[in-house]
């Protein structure tokens, strides 16, 4: 209903691969727009890394077809296989894989020197500036911290002017405290380079912050795929992230910011008050409403401290577990999901089409800014 539609002329990403290993079978078919960030999400061992290695050409499948924007990278039926060195796919490995015998500058230039396209004059400066690498150039790679290593690896991949950038859990080898040093760089990268990105992660928060399109993998198979909005309502997601972490992800725009730190975000025809200081009017933001934080009312509520009351209609009700239900609610151009107890669900007689009011506490929203117009970050 609110899922983005695209036609054949749009840039597309088509991955189809069947691969059998001793203890693991991969069998996937993915179609996604090749603009923005495609997240491969799943538990460790679900086949995410195997899949991106196939896309990069580092692993051969028994049967596969990989097409990016009309150019065929491999097609087992037609016996086509472009070797990895000719695919122009930038690959940021989980463990960075910087060349220990080269300096930071030598690493950065490795792919750039081998690229056939002449780089735009300012690419070098642009990448160095984007990733904050200017002061690291003469360092030996052994002297870098985990976060710096990943930034160099990312710069190295960007400087080869890839047609696609693969990032395989770039934050996984960095300790949690340092992750926030790297995440803003990734967000800037997404916003400033018009480069399709495949982002592998087992951390749903990262996916929320970065992804436009999500593929949910489990045991080598695709459980579900779609844009971040519809995927956030996908019941299958609950199995992976747990029912406390599921909830609608909504794209909105900041309409006004009050002095007390509350921003009013317009989502569809609803308005939400979000506790998000330091955001500018007009910024596009992404808001996640956790299903466990939503309250449903069958009548317009009055006299509550809750800031956000959204009017909508029930789309459907599905079982969450033995005692709770997940209720999806259409709020006009968007949908949210609420978790209610089975008893409440029965008592309120929740059923598709029922008019309903959704109550959200302002503080319960997590907003991620994601627009190029946001210049508040260094």
Partner 1 sequence: MFHLAPAELDALLLSLRIALKSVLFSLPVAILVAWWVTRGRGLIRFLLDAFVHLPLVLPPVAVGYVLLIVFGVRGPLGRWLYEQFGVRLVFSASGAALATAVMTFPLFVRAIRISLEGVDRGLEDAARTLGAGPWDRFFNVTLPLMLPGILAGAVTAFAAGLGEFGAVITFVSNIPGETRTLPLALYTALQSPDGDAMAARLATMSFVLGLGGLVIAELIARNVRKTLGRV
317-346 binders of partner 1 (CB under 8 A)? none
Query: Minimal distance in Å, beta carbon 66 to partner 1?
Result: 14
Which class for 275: exposed (0-12), middle (13-18), buried (19 or more C-beta within 10 A)?
A: middle
**Of 116 and 378, which has the nearer Cβ to partner 1?**
116
Residue 137's alpha-carbon distances to 146, 151, 186, 215, 325, in angstroms, are 16, 12, 20, 36, 55
What does the alpha-carbon distance between residue 197 and residue 139 come to, in Å, rounded to a whole number? 28
111-130 binders of partner 1 (CB under 8 A)? 111, 114-115
Residue 84 touches partner 1, criterion: CB under 8 A: yes
22-81 binders of partner 1 (CB under 8 A)? 56, 58
The enclosing H or E element of 44 equals: none
Identify the bridge partners of residue 369 per DSSP, sorted by sequence position: 285
Residue of 86, 266, 269, 377 interacting with partner 1 (CB under 8 A)? 86
Residue 153 sits at φ, ψ, to 5 deg, of -60, -40
Q: Among 53, 91, 90, 92, which residue's Cα sits nearest to residue 74?
A: 53
Residue 98 touches partner 1, criterion: CB under 8 A: yes
**Of 100 and 120, which has the nearer Cβ to partner 1?**
100
Residue 90 touches partner 1, criterion: CB under 8 A: yes
**Of 167 and 207, which has the nearer Cβ to partner 1?**
167
Neighbours of 238 (CB within 10 A): 19
Q: Which stretch binds partner 1 (CB under 8 A): 69-77, 149-157, 310-318, 328-336?
A: 149-157
Residue 50's alpha-carbon distances to 32, 124, 141, 293, in angstroms, are 18, 31, 27, 36
Residue 156 touches partner 1, criterion: CB under 8 A: yes
Residue 149 touches partner 1, criterion: CB under 8 A: yes
Q: Which stretch binds partner 1 (CB under 8 A): 9-17, 93-101, 254-262, 345-353?
A: 93-101
Which class for 71: exposed (0-12), middle (13-18), buried (19 or more C-beta within 10 A)?
A: exposed
Site of interaction with partner 1 (CB under 8 A): 56, 58, 83-91, 93, 95-101, 110-111, 114-115, 140-142, 149, 156-157, 160
């Amino acid at each position: 209903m609110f899922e983005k539609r695209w036609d054949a002329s749009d840039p597309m990403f088509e991955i189809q691969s069947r691969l059998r290993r001793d203890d693991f079978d991969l069998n996937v078919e993915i179609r996604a727009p090749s603009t923005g960030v495609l997240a491969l999400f799943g538990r460790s061992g679900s086949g995410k890394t195997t899949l991106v290695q196939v896309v990069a050409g580092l692993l051969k499948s028994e049967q596969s077809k990989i097409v990016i924007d009309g150019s065929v990278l491999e097609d087992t039926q037609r016996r086509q296989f472009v070797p990895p060195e000719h695919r122009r796919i930038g690959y940021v490995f989980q463990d960075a894989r910087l060349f220990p015998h080269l300096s930071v500058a030598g690493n950065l230039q490795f792919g750039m020197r081998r690229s056939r396209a002449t780089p735009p004059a300012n690419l070098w400066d642009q990448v160095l500036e984007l990733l904050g690498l200017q002061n690291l150039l003469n360092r030996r790679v052994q002297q870098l911290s985990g976060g710096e290593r990943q930034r160099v690896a990312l710069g190295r991949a960007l400087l080869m002017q890839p047609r696609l950038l693969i990032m395989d859990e770039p934050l996984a080898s960095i300790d949690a405290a340092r992750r926030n040093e790297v995440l803003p760089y990734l967000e800037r990268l997404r916003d400033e380079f018009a480069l399709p990105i495949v982002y592998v992660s087992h951390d749903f928060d990262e996916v929320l912050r970065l992804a436009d399109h999500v593929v949910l993998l489990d045991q080598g198979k695709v459980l579900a795929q779609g844009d971040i909005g519809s995927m956030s309502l996908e019941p299958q997601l609950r199995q992976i992230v747990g029912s406390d972490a599921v909830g609608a992800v909504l794209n909105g725009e900041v309409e006004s910011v009050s002095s007390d730190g509350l921003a009013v975000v317009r989502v569809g025809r609803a308005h939400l008050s979000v506790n998000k200081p330091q955001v500018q009017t007009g910024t596009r933001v992404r808001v996640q409403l956790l299903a466990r934080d939503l309250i449903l009312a069958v009548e317009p509520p009055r006299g509550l401290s809750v800031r956000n009351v959204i009017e909508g209609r029930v789309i459907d009700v599905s079982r969450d577990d033995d005692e709770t239900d997940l209720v999806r609610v259409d709020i006009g151009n968007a949908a949210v999901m609420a978790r209610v107890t089975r008893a409440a669900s029965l008592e309120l007689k929740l059923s598709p089409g029922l008019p309903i009011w959704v109550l959200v506490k302002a503080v319960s929203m997590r907003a991620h800014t994601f627009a190029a117009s946001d210049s508040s970050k260094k």
